[in-house]
Amino acid sequence: MTDVQQRAGWRERHAHDLMGSYAPPLRLLERGEGCWVWDDEGTRYLDFLGGIAVNSLGHAHPVVLTAIAEQAARFVHVSNYFASAPQLGLAERLKRITGAGEEGRVYFGNSGAEANEAAFKLARRTGRPRILALKNAFHGRTMGALALTGKPAMQQPFLPLPGGVEHLDSTVEALRQAMRDDVAALVVEPIKGETGVVPLPEGYLREARELTREYGALLVVDEIQTGVGRTGAWFDYQHEGVLPDAVTIAKGIAGGVPLGAMVTFGAASGLLQRGDHGSTFGGNALAAATANAVLDEIERADLIGNAARRGEQLRTAVTRMGSSLVTEVRGRGLLIGVGTVDGAAPAIAAAALERGLIVNPINPTSVRIAPPLIVGDAEVDFFTEVFGAALAAA
């Protein structure tokens, strides 16, 4: 088949050949460069969803290309019966940037859900029966991760789920009432990304740290969306000055190559024993080498500082638009939620897409914005112009 034949009728072919579990795709994309992508008709878009907070370095970044090519020329994968230098280097680096330090240990999987499955098993290994999580939080789609996810509508068709998980209101008060010495773990997202970029209340994480420590429960922070520099720190909990017992990481870590990780701190590092968990692909050489290159570049180019500065610019720009559709602007760094009047978010995102800007209407009242960490002046200017026009048109 020629390229043209392959592209013809792609919407119908997608509907015909792919499982119906996703919404129909918006465009057929062909290539990307930096913060931009092009579709099959040659139309260019500013990608301010970044593969859902995945493409930290944007598209076709030379650092990512080189890392993939060089590692693939050695080997892509050797299984966890063998060690590889990229995996060892990445584990060491993750212990450093998470703050887990000497006592830290790293488990590698291939996705966010897998990182949270590992955290679920870590919690079970405490021998305690109860796991606390938060209403409206998202932790993934596999059965354990779905059990942690505080969205009854997502869970309902798949009951029964692994037991023992209780979903609390996101208040210190609710946590205090639920906390006893039979709690294995509290699992939290510092900013609820899939719920429209909704941060935990000020001070919640610090209080949660104190309460979990007092009762001997694990504090597990899901930084799958917030981590790896996006919020203007390597990890969002670092803004609060707390250290968790485990952090789960995925999305932005390897520039789009699938990789998930759980990093444990202190005594939690001894909970999973030989044979307790594993993965065929988890942390393979290709994914680990790419992650090392991405994390190197984030440090070298101070993309964490860039995330903080650009995030502030973007939030200020949206606020200044003064649109009657916008009710608030949330988030930290380059994870931004634009709160809208009810039902407006999808129309705003559609108007933006028509004008060459990709943003994500995650629910009827929220537009999520998660650009690559490399975003610069040209992108901020384009966004400001086009998002303003989209708000005016929606």
Ligand X SMILES: *Cc1c(COP(=O)(O)O)cnc(C)c1O
- Interface residues toward ligand X, by CB under 6 A: 111-113, 116, 138-140, 189, 193-194, 222, 224-225, 250-251
Asked whether 371 and 310 are in contact (CB, 8 A), the reply is yes
| Least gap, CB of 143 to ligand X (angstroms) | 12
Peptide bond into 86 cis (omega under 30): no
Q: Is the CB of 34 or the CB of 255 nearer to ligand X?
A: 255
Q: Is the CB of 34 or the CB of 361 nearer to ligand X?
A: 361
Q: Is the CB of 170 or the CB of 225 nearer to ligand X?
A: 225
- Pairing of β 326-332 and β 130-134: unpaired
Q: Is the CB of 351 or the CB of 370 nearer to ligand X?
A: 370
Residue number with the smallest Cβ distance to ligand X: 112
| Least gap, CB of 138 to ligand X (angstroms) | 5
Helix (H) or strand (E) holding 4: helix 3-7
User: Quick check: helix, strand or coil at residue 369?
Assistant: strand
Q: Is the CB of 315 or the CB of 368 nearer to ligand X?
A: 368
Q: Is the CB of 36 or the CB of 237 nearer to ligand X?
A: 237
Q: What is the DSSP string of 137-180?
A: ----SSHHHHHH---HHHHGGGPSPPS-EEEE-SSHHHHHHH--
d(CA 332, CA 307): 9
| Least gap, CB of 198 to ligand X (angstroms) | 12
| Least gap, CB of 145 to ligand X (angstroms) | 6
- Number of separate helices (H) and strands (E) present in the chain: 15, 17
Q: How crowded is residue 211: how many other Cβ atoms within 10 Å of its Cβ?
A: 18
How far is residue 323 from each of residues 326, 327, 340, measured CA to CA in Å? Answer: 6, 8, 9
Q: How crowded is residue 388: how many other Cβ atoms within 10 Å of its Cβ?
A: 17
Q: Is the CB of 113 or the CB of 358 nearer to ligand X?
A: 113
Q: Is the CB of 262 or the CB of 285 nearer to ligand X?
A: 262
For 326-348, b/e burial (b = at least 16 CB within 10 A) is: beebbbbbbbbbbbbeeebbebb
| Least gap, CB of 343 to ligand X (angstroms) | 24
d(CA 389, CA 35): 20
| Least gap, CB of 225 to ligand X (angstroms) | 3
Q: Is the CB of 253 or the CB of 286 nearer to ligand X?
A: 253
**Amino acid identity, position 91:** A
User: Quick check: helix, strand or coil at residue 85?
Assistant: helix
Q: Is the CB of 106 or the CB of 391 nearer to ligand X?
A: 106
| Least gap, CB of 48 to ligand X (angstroms) | 17
| Least gap, CB of 236 to ligand X (angstroms) | 11
| Least gap, CB of 171 to ligand X (angstroms) | 20
| Least gap, CB of 195 to ligand X (angstroms) | 10
Residue with tokens 């003064």: 322
Burial of 321 by CB count in 10 Å (0-12 exposed, 13-18 middle, 19+ buried)? middle
Nearest to residue 230, comparing CAs of 26, 31, 51, 36?
A: 51
